[in-house]
A = this chain, B = another copy of it.
Amino acid sequence: MAVEDELTIGEAARLAGVPASTLRYWETAGLLKAPRRVGGKRRYDREGLQQIEMVAVAKRAGFTLAEIRVILSGVSRRTPPSVVWRRLASNKLPEVEQTLVEAQAMKRILEAGLRCECLSLEDCLSGTPCG
């Protein structure tokens, strides 16, 4: 049984697809518990890697670090993380949908701009050929 299924920060970082400096930052920001040290150096075990993965998933979901901190800290132990997650997710969803709508609007404007034949932006604004 491998006593050393613990990874250095560099290895954990490669696994997570982020720089080691980002893992240190997440730790100082209170998103990761300080892992065991060997000679002053961080060693990440299964649990440590899982924490990293949780942060990564939450980031992919669009949560800010502040929100992730709330999810992980569990708010007073009465509410399990999954419940906190769900509560925050239902708040976050409209935000993400808003982003989606804005990006779609941007896309339409850009595509209209590509089709536009105006010689000046003033023409565009006065709504002549394109609008």
Contact = CB atoms under 8 A, between A and B. Distances in A.
Contacts of A119: 80, 82
Interface residues of A, number: 41
A93 B113 CA distance: 11
A110 B122 contact: no
A89 B71 CA distance: 39
B82 A121 contact: yes
Contacts of A122: 50
Given A50-B125, A85-B121, 12 more contacts: A50-B122, A60-B105, A60-B109, A62-B103, A62-B106, A80-B119, A80-B120, A82-B123, A89-B113, A96-B110, A99-B99, A100-B104
